[in-house]
């Protein structure tokens, strides 16, 4: 440490070797974004790569919408609608209302006016030949998102939900369009077998000091990411820690409880760990599920019991610190 540092200077944050831990986070939507708001304060963002889900993406009004990437971008960029966890804070719907009243549309997927700017920009850039990776990086830079945000793939990858009446719906048609009323009987990630990991994704994972599975929906958020060929194999060579999205035996938000049965997986913090047992070194459980720690250990995975309910940024950062400590040797 140079002798001219004043006593009042903040302590140096880089570890002695000056090389911050390389962190990769696999992330879905709202729950992941709230965790990431803590993680970006617990690591050096220059060494953080977030790999986002794209299988929720849809075309609406001719525009390419990437809900999970936008939730991460808006949350880390400070523009998220905090209550909903998606869309822009304080947004308006002048355009949607005009589409409905004057042109007879029935906009079931609510795109606010400011949110539309994102989709207009993304769609124009994609039409001019830019990849989703390139456009995602541009949008993240515009929002000064810390870390590097990458889609898991630039290729088509879409979650399709089979329902009891025989139809197969785009995930958003099921979740938003039909308010998840139809009983799901099957889920598939269309395009997965032909999808290539986006540039930089496998390299980030294989060179990571820690990979975090964010507290996201195991089926429709982490499922598509892990379904891209090469991702699971890359994860096997990395230290991996996951955060249970199930607390007290139930989901905190979203619909994982409706979809986990499709994979014969109980809505249970240890059962979800079992979906990743071949990848995990450690699994963080909320204190409410401390009784499930032994079942996690039986998977050959180190259980870590902590406060996993993120009420605000400080609790998210505390959780992130615990998650990193679970596999990073200090
Ligand atoms: N969710 C809803 O329940 N209703 C909506 O109208 C809606 C619109 C919407 C627009 C942009 C966006 O980025 C997300 C939006 N979502 C909406 C949430 C979306 O379905 C979820 O964020 C993810 O796809 C699931 O995590």
Q: What digits encode the pLDDT tens for the residues 153-186?
A: 999 999 999 999 999 999 999 999 999 999 999 9
User: What pLDDT score does 330 carry?
Assistant: 45
Mutate to test the pocket of ligand 1, among 136, 176, 254, 256 (most ligand atoms within 8 A of CB): 176
pLDDT at 123 over 80: yes
Q: Ligand 1, residues 81, 110, 222, 256: which to mutate, most atoms within 8 A of Cβ? A: 110
84 C-alpha to center of ligand 1: Å?
Answer: 9
Q: Is the pLDDT of residue 286 over 50?
A: yes
What is the CATH classification number for the domain harbouring 158?
3.40.50.10680
Which atom of ligand 1 is the closest one to the Cα of 109?
6
Q: How many domains does the chain have?
A: 1
Residues with CB under 6 A from ligand 1: 29, 56, 65, 67-68, 70-71, 86-87, 109-111, 115, 172, 175-176
The whole domain housing 209 covers 23-328
> What is the Å distance from ligand 1's center to 148 Cα?
23
In a domain, 217, yes or no: yes
> Looking at the domain assignment, is residue 12 inside a domain?
no
Classify 46 as helix, strand or coil.
Answer: helix
Reported confidence tier of residue 329, pLDDT bands at 50, 70, 90: low
Establish if 253 belongs to a structural domain: yes
Average pLDDT over residues 38-58: 98
Percentage of residues of the chain with pLDDT beyond 90: 93
Ligand 1 centre to CA of 54 (Å) is 13
How many whole angstroms separate alpha carbon 143 and alpha carbon 255?
Answer: 29
SS3 state at 64: strand
> Is the pLDDT confidence value at 242 over 70?
yes
Q: Using the atom order of ligand 1, give the atom closest to the CA of residue 70.
A: 13
pLDDT at 3: 44
4 pLDDT more than 50: no
CA–chain centroid gap for 265, Å, is 20
Please check whether residue 18 lies inside any domain of the structure: no
> Across-strand partners of 154?
none
Note the pTM of the prediction, 2 decimals.
Answer: 0.94
Band of residue 18 on the pLDDT scale cut at 50, 70, 90? confident
Residue 240 lies in a domain: yes
Q: What is the mean pLDDT of residues 137-154?
A: 98
Comparing CA positions, the residue from 330, 326, 69 lying closest to residue 211 is 326
């Amino acid at each position: 440490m140079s002798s001219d540092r004043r006593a009042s200077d903040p302590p140096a944050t880089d570890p002695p070797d000056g090389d911050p831990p390389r962190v990769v986070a696999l992330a879905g939507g709202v729950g992941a974004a709230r965790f990431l708001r803590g993680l970006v304060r617990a690591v050096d963002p220059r060494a953080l790569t977030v790999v986002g889900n794209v299988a929720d993406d849809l075309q609406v009004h001719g525009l390419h919408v990437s809900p999970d990437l936008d939730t991460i971008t808006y949350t880390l960029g400070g523009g998220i609608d905090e209550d909903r966890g998606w869309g822009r804070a304080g947004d308006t719907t002048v355009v949607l209302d005009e589409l409905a009243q004057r042109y007879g549309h029935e906009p079931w997927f609510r795109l606010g006016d400011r949110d539309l700017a994102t989709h207009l920009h993304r769609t124009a850039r994609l039409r001019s030949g830019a990849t989703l990776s390139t456009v995602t990086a541009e949008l993240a830079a515009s929002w000064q998102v810390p870390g590097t945000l990458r889609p898991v793939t630039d290729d088509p990858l879409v979650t399709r939900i089979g329902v009891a009446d025989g139809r197969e719906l785009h995930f958003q048609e099921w979740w938003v369009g039909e308010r998840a009323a139809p009983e799901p009987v099957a889920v598939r990630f269309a395009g997965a077998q032909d999808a290539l990991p986006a540039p930089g994704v496998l390299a980030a994972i294989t060179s990571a000091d820690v990979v975090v599975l964010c507290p996201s929906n195991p089926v429709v958020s982490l499922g598509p990411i892990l379904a891209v060929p090469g991702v699971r194999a890359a994860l096997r060579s990395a230290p991996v820690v996951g955060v249970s999205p199930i607390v007290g035996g139930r989901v905190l938000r979203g619909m994982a409880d409706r979809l986990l049965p499709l994979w014969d997986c109980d809505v249970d913090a240890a059962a979800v760990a079992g979906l990743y047992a071949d990848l995990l070194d450690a699994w963080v459980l909320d204190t409410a599920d401390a009784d499930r720690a032994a079942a996690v250990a039986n998977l050959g995975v180190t259980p870590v019991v902590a406060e996993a309910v993120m009420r605000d940024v400080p609790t998210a950062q505390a959780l992130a610190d615990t998650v990193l400590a679970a596999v990073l040797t200090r």
